[in-house]
Amino acid sequence: MNTAELTPDEAAQGARRAGLDLGGDRHAGVAATANHIQAVIAVLRELDFGDTPPAATYTAVREDQNEAL
């Protein structure tokens, strides 16, 4: 995984490759947003979920709010 931060020029190049026409003033903002998303994902990858079952095994049950009274 590449840990280098995305530069505004690289953001512009990626946008062009994806067929997106970004104004020159938006490249820095797009790069900053992409870098933030990568930082959040990196933190999530470090979490140890251990024996947490997959979400498909969860059954949502509505509890009566008055039971606690």
Question: Cβ neighbours of residue 28 under 8 Å, at least 6 residues apart?
Answer: 8, 11
Task: List, in order, residues 6 or more apart from 33 with CB less than 8 Å away.
Answer: none
pTM above 0.75?
no
The Cα 5–Cα 1 span in angstroms is 12
pLDDT recorded at residue 50: 85
- Under-50 pLDDT residues of the chain: none
pLDDT at 43: 94
